[in-house]
Structure 1
Amino acid sequence: MSQIKIPPVDSSSDDREILTEIAILYYQEGATQEEIAKKFSISRIKVGRLLRKAREEGIVEINVRYHPIYSAQLEQRLVEKFNLKRALIALDNADNQEQRKQVAVLVSAFLANNLQDNSSVAVGQGQNVAAVADYAGIVPQRNAHFVCAIGGTHRSGDSINADHICRQLAKKFGGSSETLYAPAYVNSSKTRADFLAHNTIAETLKQARNADFALVGVGAMNENSHMVKLGWFSQQEFAEARLNEGIVGDIGGFDFFKLTGENARTRLRDRVIGLDTEDLRRIPNVIAVASEERKALALLGALRTGSIDILATSVSCAMTLLNMAE
């Protein structure tokens, strides 16, 4: 290699070009640090510093691709730690929508392999659950029955509405869907009690409780929750529930829990028309889907409720979850 003198590096455009050239030599062309040091007449120690600077300034981005064996080890650790039947772990993706899709691919495949003709599935709401229904992969046709485990939302929430998701899943697997003819959230516990007393609503919830599978999301208690964005609860209600009652998340959109897994006897729950955590414990195969790492704390509480059998998440969320639990 011919030698090139390198000037002191700062943040100017010329110096970024030098950082870029060094990064390309090292990461793309496979040059050693010693070869780069000779080319630029600098020490190997300085080459290491410049490569680190290239990473810090965003000239170089390093993405780790996990080997399938690593994912399998993570799955095994989750299964043993939380007494699960299965853990489905997707590789990390920086784009939230793509991350949900990658997790949804695994859940879709799990359902394809495990649903039988006449299987019944209780379905919750949310973006992660909707992603499973929206994934356009080829699956075997099953005469499965998909039942809403929670009432409906208004128009702007259609894509994450349990009824919409049920219909999409029924279309995907060649089965049928059952609508819960009630709103997901009402203004008072009395209104909720009136709805639950209705024969049609009671019958649908009974079907959901007797399902073979449940497909639910896990939500975190923050002011950016879709429940808040859609106007079901106020930011203040969520903040008070988190700070005063110790609530860390919801499961399926219909029940709330603390970090210990203890059910939260909260006023929020008294306004929801749907199943509860105790109902989920009676369903043999509850699949909880949460792709976002920011939901790790909520997932920890959800897993401690003892109502989840199969967890579907991302590598980063799985690692954070295990670190918090240990």
Structure 2
Amino acid sequence: MLNWEERKQMVKIANLYYIDGWTQQQIAKKVGVSRPIISKLLQRAKDLGIVEVYIKDESAHTVDLELQLEKKYELQDAIVISTVGLTPEMTKRAVGQAGAYYLSKYLKRMNVKRLGISWGSTLAELVKEYPFERREEMNIVPLVGGMGTQHVEIHANQLAYELAKKMGCKCSYLYAPAIVETKELKEHIVAMKEIASVLEEVKEVELALVGIGNPYRGSTMKELNYLQEDDLQNLRKTGAVGDIASRFFDESGETINHPLNDKVIGLSLEDLRGIKEVIGVVEGTHKLESVLAALKGKYLDVLIVDEQTASALLEER
């Protein structure tokens, strides 16, 4: 049983998180503990009934959007997150929360031995929100190499590690950059025993979590200097509209013929299509063209997305 002080602390943390919109990291700093402890306390607050989460949409608008997305794009599942009154950062967190809930529910009913994860800030929110639950039989595999020394918290290796910690399971590490300088260097690196063995694991992934990027707007790859201005101009010329795990595709979802795609260390788009279940987790209408192309390319089985982007996808011919 909780004593009065413990319950008061839990209520305070829950209020900061659910009512005031603080991040777990901000709360951890204020309280003076680690972020995983805050995550555990929030989960315990739910378990004890201190916090009850309700999704209220009186018009059932998002449910209707989900059904329309599933039908139009032949998806197994679509989850649409209401964005009413939310800032972009809050929307991203809400999409991440929905992704975490969906993944947890999926793993309860499906026997998954190997889970793959790409990289990005929306997937990082999913991992932060994922509950602590034992899945010792699983192995989590990064689908693409690291992205340099900046924003390490959104790299595939780091996300695989953080998710594995929460599940109490193993993870693999792809100790290589996402994109190298030359095709010859890539061929040398992927021939290395440790890299080659992880890339083989990548091909055996049963369930994949992926984000979708727009190279021209809000691009983390550009922010990290993986894409220079001349790269962007060349990508435009070849018709690139988006990327999954740093692999670029055109408006019909087909892999573009561009040197950058030949220098990526990680999952190919062809191999992505071969994965049994692929969950796309996306936030932001600036990614509309990219998500549309990914859907046309049949890369996704499940789409978890914000309401505005969902509505825009349904307006597309």
TM-score (norm 1): 0.75
CA–CA distance in 2 between the matches of 1:295 and 1:154? Answer: 23
Q: How many angstroms does 1:73 deviate by? A: 1.2
Displacement, 1:94?
4.1
Partner of 1:88: 79
Q: For residue 90 of structure 2, what is the aligned residue in structure 1?
A: 98
Structure 1 moving runs of 4+ over 6 Å = none
Residues 172-202 of structure 1 show CA distances to partners (whole Å, capped at 9, x for unaligned) of 2222211012111110111111111222211
> Please, which of 233, 237, 248 is the counterpart of residue 231 of structure 2?
237
| Superposed displacement of residue 161, structure 1 | 0.6
Query: Partner of 2:27 in structure 1?
Result: none
The unaligned stretches of length 5 or more in structure 1 are 1-64
Does 2:124 match 1:107?
Answer: no
Structure 1 counterpart of 2:272, one-letter code: L
RMSD: 1.7
Q: How far, CA to CA, are the matches of 2:57 and 2:263 in structure 1? A: 43
174-183 vs 114-123, greater mean Cα deviation = 114-123
The yes-or-no answer on 1:319 pairing with 2:308 is no
Structure-2 change in CA distance of 1:235 and 1:66 (3 Å): farther
Q: What's the CA shift string for 1:87-113, capped at 9, x where partnerless?
A: 111111542221111011111111111
The alignment status of 1:288 with 2:276, answered yes or no, reads: no
State how 1:118-129 maps to structure 2 within 5 Å. 119-129=113-123
Name which one, 1 or 2, has greater alpha-carbon Rg.
1
Q: Give the match for residue 131 of structure 2.
A: 138
Alignment pair present for 1:249 and 2:242:
yes
SS of the residue 1:155 aligns to: coil
Partner of 1:225: 219
Which SS does the other structure have where 2:241 is aligned? Answer: strand
User: Aligned equivalents of 1:68 and 1:106: distance in 2?
Assistant: 19
For 1:261 and 1:155, the matched residues in 2 are separated by 30
Q: Which amino acid aligns with 2:71?
A: E
Give the structure 1 partner of residue 255 of structure 2.
263
1:201-257 C-alpha deviation (Å, 9 max, x unpaired)? 111111111111101110012164111111112022113212x1111000122x111
| Equivalent position amino acid for 1:235 in 2 | E
Structure 2: which 5+ runs fail to align? 1-55
Structure 1 counterpart of 2:239, one-letter code: G
Identical columns (%): 28
TM-score of the two chains, using structure 2 as the length reference:
0.77
Of the three residues 286, 292, 303, the one matched with 1:300 is: 292
